Amino acid sequence: MTGEPLSKDEGAGAKGPAGTDFLHEGKFVEALLESIPGILYVYDDQGRLVKWNKKHEELTGYSAEELSRTTSEGWHPMEERAMVAQAVEEVMRTGHGEVEAHLLLKDGGSVLMQFNGMRLDLDGKAYFTGVGIDITERRRIEDALRASEGWLKYIVSAMHVGVLLQGPKAEILLCNPKALELLGLTEDQLLGRTSFDPAWNVSHEDGSPFPGPTHPVPRAIAEGRPMLGVVMGVYRPDKGGRVWLSVDAEPQLDMDGRVARVVCSFTDITARKAAEDSLQRAFEENRILLGELQHRAKNSFNLISGMVSMAAGASASAEVKAALEDLEARVRSVSDLYSLLYSAGTFTTVRLDQYCERIAKSLVGLNGHVDLVAELEALAAPVKNAAAIGLVLTELVTNSLKYAFPGGRKGRIYVSLTKVEGGARLSVRDDGVGMVLAEGDGRGGTGGMGLSLVRGLAGQLVGDFKMESGEGGTTCLLEFRFPGVAGDGA
């Protein structure tokens, strides 16, 4: 510590742990004052610098002799001297104070400092003492941070999405102009408001209330994770309706893992939602129309089936009667398909297992001496494939009923449907007398009309048809493929 003692009794009588007179020797005080991270100064009541530390000399560039001749007036730029003088006056009046000002250096430069001062009364004299800390780097960082914050505020303000910064209690701390526009509020109306405020009048897409605790921001706070793409309908009195928003809430955690704030952003999807609602209404109208068309098609096929049945009953020719009965079965299989589509309310796919069971039962049920055993795996198929598969099944079951059980012979017809890779396998087997497979056989051989139709339909399905027959009965296999084979619930 440089300069003259403030009092001849300074430090007298102070003892250290081992009885050493540290303060009397001045070493302890000098070491303590030199360790201060800044310049130390003591001015007397005349404004003369009477004590300082080495850092004062190092920073200003003045020697001890030069400093001993300085006063408090010349250390600061002219434009700051009145401010500094006012701060010194406050210290002398109240006992303490502080000020930020530039300290002039010997080389003509200056350093921005933070000066802290206090009044010291010794031997009836008033002294001004304090410490000055170089805050140049701190100010540079603060200025850079302010500039960065300014750019951030500009970017957020220019964004075409609403942005809110909300605190740990879901209170709104900051907002951008787009948020005010979308919510129809002023900044004074919005800031400080929380997500729990019932005045929001928010609803879900189905029109049900959207309670505050379930809003995205409170949920993000409670669960500590983002809430994304939440659709909310906020009532706007000025518009007399709701504005629909897609809301994201991103929590920001502190060092302890607690939510410190939440960034809430939202976009106006009112127009998009109106278009989606319009599209949904159009789809519903088309669904009803297609359902009506299916119903009419089903009725038309039932009418045709009934007319063919009446014609078969009125025919005197056994050959014509048989042909008409085959035609009726084929028409009925298509009618069954439309019945299933209409009852299921679908337009593109059908439960193939239910369709096959319906066809097989309707055909076998007309024959009192043959039983049906069906093992059908749940399977959904495209409608365009299902119609051909139904006709194949109709032909195969009809052939078994015609030729496998002559003279009222009892027996069984086994129908199975199983999934295979990329498609399915349909099997129709009977335990009847078997069929002759020679070309041109009148009981349904390879040249018969029914099997020719089956092979043609198998070709449409890009399938593979095989038939084996012997004394133990006949087995027909059709493997077919189509994309998107699905099981139960498809």
| Domain of residue 236, CATH code | 3.30.450.20
pLDDT value, residue 149:
67
Do 189 and 292 lie in one domain? The reply is no
- The CA distance from 247 to 217, in Å, is 9
Do 73 and 164 lie in one domain? The reply is no
Please state the domain count of the chain. Answer: 4
Domain ranges, residue 337: 272-347
Do 76 and 134 lie in one domain? The reply is yes
Nearest to 160 by CA among 140, 137, 177: 177
pLDDT value, residue 375:
95
Amino acid, single-letter form, for residue 483: P
Cβ–Cβ under 8 Å, residues 378 and 407 = no
Do 228 and 170 lie in one domain? The reply is yes
Tens-digit pLDDT string for the chain (490 aa) = 666 554 444 444 444 455 455 445 567 667 777 777 899 999 998 889 999 999 999 999 999 999 999 888 889 999 999 999 999 999 999 999 999 999 999 999 999 999 999 999 988 899 999 999 999 998 888 887 777 666 666 666 667 899 999 999 999 998 999 999 999 999 999 999 999 988 889 999 999 999 999 999 999 999 999 999 999 999 988 888 899 999 999 999 998 889 999 999 999 999 888 888 888 887 776 666 666 665 555 555 566 666 666 766 666 677 776 676 666 666 666 666 656 666 666 667 888 898 889 888 888 887 778 999 999 999 888 887 888 888 888 889 988 888 888 888 899 999 999 998 878 999 999 999 886 543 444 444 444 677 888 888 888 888 899 999 888 899 999 999 876 555 554 4
Is residue 193 in a domain? yes
Is residue 148 in a domain? no
Cβ–Cβ under 8 Å, residues 42 and 52 = yes
Nearest to 400 by CA among 431, 361, 441, 437: 431
Do 336 and 454 lie in one domain? The reply is no
CATH assignment of the domain containing 470: 3.30.565.10
Supply 418's token pair.
């199983």
Is residue 144 in a domain? no
Nearest to 129 by CA among 52, 51, 42, 34: 42
pLDDT value, residue 16:
47
Do 264 and 376 lie in one domain? The reply is no
Dihedral over alpha carbons 154, 155, 159, 161 (to 10 degrees): -100
Give Cα 142 to chain centroid, integer Å.
37
The last residue of a domain, from among 319, 347, 375? 347
Do 368 and 457 lie in one domain? The reply is yes
- The CA distance from 490 to 71, in Å, is 94
Cβ–Cβ under 8 Å, residues 178 and 162 = yes
pLDDT value, residue 55:
92
Do 221 and 133 lie in one domain? The reply is no
Is residue 125 in a domain? yes
Q: Looking at the whole model, is its pTM more than 0.75?
A: no
- The CA distance from 354 to 360, in Å, is 10
pLDDT value, residue 72:
85
Query: Cα dist. 187→164, 172, 178, 245, 482 in Å?
Result: 11, 10, 11, 19, 61
Question: Which single residue is written with the structure tokens 């006949």?
Answer: 474
- The CA distance from 291 to 20, in Å, is 107
